[in-house]
Structure 1
Amino acid sequence: MANQFDTTIEELKLTNGLQSDSLFIDQKLWVPAIHEVTAGDTLQEIASMYHSSVETIKKVNGLPSDELYTGQILKVTPKKLTMQGQHILMTKEDFKDWLSNNQFNRDIRIIQQHHTWLPSYRQFKGANHFQMLQSMESFHKKEMGWNNIAQNITTFPDGKVAVSRPFNLAPEGSIGPKANSVGLTIENIGNFDLGHDVMTKEQQDTIVYITALLCIKFGLTPSIDSITYHHWWNLQTKERVLDNGPDYNVKTCPGSNFFGGNSTNDAIKHFYPLVSQKINEILATME
């Protein structure tokens, strides 16, 4: 495919956030394209059409200004995502495109919400996303004995989102195999227990937005059966106990102050309505 579109495997991986060389049926890829300018075309419209940017088109084609003329031939290359190893760092809007284009071969019916507790906001320096991801990956492998970083998705205080563990791999961790086998794990950087980190608006918006996108992608309706909190699972039995777990057998995760609290009532009252509203807003833009 790289030869077909006059590009490289590495470029295809960076523009599409590919974590391996394997592709799936119906998976969509952004590739370089040739565009012939028609009357009324603008660089911004062309950039949006091909998942590129005005700056990239101008640079690739040596354009001194934004002016175009009918019949002009432009080479349009998609914008690249930021990757280090398996870790893909994106805006929430980039995540929307990435999720839409990808296909997965695993049954996903549960979205898990977690907080890291440690690292917390103190460890986030504004630009050390990959350092934090690599540290978590190393800890999970060396100290916990897992095969990879435990979580599929990580959100950060600045609103960025990272995909690390491939979606086709079930997450690992203490929540247990029942939740993991059909689950995706979202690990939210921060300690969101009462009296600790106060979640930024940027991170709040990202958590709601990507949870809504995942619900749309996998046909889920927000409920205690589809969006689960770590706090609702017994550490010993790995069974879901909801609000009935003794303190010594459940974690506070995703935090006793996570969107108003970590109980089922808190999720139903505070979190699920936000996700449902965002689902409706996203679907309205897709009509």
Structure 2
Amino acid sequence: MRKRLVLVFGIISSMLFLVVSPAQAVSVHPNHIHVVKAGDSLPDIADKYSISIEELKAANGLQSDVLIAGQKLWVPIIYEVKAGDTLLDISSSFHSSVEAIKAINGLTSEQLYSGQLLKVTPKKMNMQGQHILMTKEEFKDWLFNTQVNREIRLIQQHHTWLPSYQHFNGSNHFQMLIGMENHHKKTMGWKNIAQNITTFPDGKVAVSRPLNMIPDGTIGPKANSVGIAIEHVGNFDIGHDVMTKAQQDTIVYINALLCIKFGLTPSIDSITYHHWWHIKTKERVLDATANYNVKSCPGTGFFGGNSTASAKTFFYPLISDKIEELVESMQ
């Protein structure tokens, strides 16, 4: 009788092994988000979820190995298929892709069956070095998973002037970012690329300088100390580049997200133009200065102009409307 029990147990164990074999690389973790706790490290988290450190960093757009308590990380899970599930539904729900799920589970088709166990791994973000290139929707997810441990009270608006639209070919985002980074380091003498965020004519957005790093640049230390700097690729002075609808939408969208993230209300005290800061004194002068004492940045044609009146009339209302829309969608 004892031999029979042992034999039955062995058969059941073998059957269980066969059932979960597609997911042997990780333990069963029902939550695809890991919230970083004090004392957590990338090696510990990677080991817990049976993912490499490099994969973990690529999935979450991590620019360094430093973690902050409260930060959220996408991690692999084991998912049990339910009736009606599709790979597209599963990948959308767990920040993955159909191709990634098929590859890691050895699936040759998209056909699923109820009770099937799938390993679902988070998709990799598009990164080169410290530069993370995203759609505006991907930026939203990334931003609200990110923990920022410095005070943010000011969102700066800049235009690159050079490079301008004529230098963008639709696929050279990283080339342009690396070019700006090299210029800022070698010519300007800064330690890193000056801006935290960059927007492009096609509506893509990049994070380069980590948000936890104070931006650099000629706007000055008062604006930088509590600021996030955004460079919009293009020369938006009147008579030069005409901003695309895609870039307009992204600029409004990411400014709204940053306001939500940091509890800001659009105003001259929270969203600032480089044009409002004196070149030499680095003091905020708003509209009361001679033209040669300020830059035109972010452009005389930026959302109707670069004055405070233009910002209040043409820019802030768009951001406020988008904030309301986003908050409603997140509830």
| TM-score computed with the length of structure 1 as normaliser | 0.98
Query: Shift in Å at residue 228 of structure 1?
Result: 0.2
* 3-state SS, counterpart of residue 206 of structure 2: strand
The equivalent position to 2:116 in structure 1, one of 72, 82, 86, is: 72
Amino acid at match of 1:18: L
Answer yes or no: is 1:220 the counterpart of 2:264. yes
Q: Structure 1 runs of 4+ off > 6 angstroms?
A: none
Q: Is the 8 A contact 1:233 1:245 kept in 2?
A: no
Partner of 2:183: 139
TM alignment of 1:1-287, pairs within 5 A: 1-287=45-331
Gaps of 5+ in 2: 1-44
Identity %, equivalent residues: 71
Query: Shift in Å at residue 63 of structure 1?
Result: 2.4
Aligned residues: 287
Amino acid at match of 1:155: T
1-structure distance, mates of 2:50, 2:113: 25
1-structure distance, mates of 2:240, 2:125: 32
1-structure distance, mates of 2:108, 2:177: 40
Partner of 2:23: none
1-structure distance, mates of 2:72, 2:321: 28
* 3-state SS, counterpart of residue 69 of structure 2: coil
1-structure distance, mates of 2:306, 2:108: 55
Query: Shift in Å at residue 56 of structure 1?
Result: 2.0
Query: Shift in Å at residue 20 of structure 1?
Result: 0.3
1-structure distance, mates of 2:180, 2:69: 32
Amino acid at match of 2:214: A
* 3-state SS, counterpart of residue 299 of structure 2: coil
2-structure distance, mates of 1:273, 1:91: 23
**Pairwise CA RMSD of aligned residues?**
0.9
Gaps of 5+ in 1: none
2-structure distance, mates of 1:32, 1:265: 49
Larger Rg: 2
Amino acid at match of 2:299: G
Q: Is the 8 A contact 1:236 1:249 kept in 2?
A: yes
Report which structure shows greater RCO (CA 8 Å, sep ≥6). Answer: 1
* 3-state SS, counterpart of residue 251 of structure 2: helix
Q: Is the 8 A contact 1:232 1:250 kept in 2?
A: yes
| TM-score computed with the length of structure 2 as normaliser | 0.85
Amino acid at match of 1:94: E
2-structure distance, mates of 1:49, 1:119: 38
1-structure distance, mates of 2:120, 2:258: 30
* 3-state SS, counterpart of residue 95 of structure 1: helix
2-structure distance, mates of 1:64, 1:3: 29
1-structure distance, mates of 2:137, 2:59: 14
Amino acid at match of 2:320: S
* 3-state SS, counterpart of residue 154 of structure 1: strand
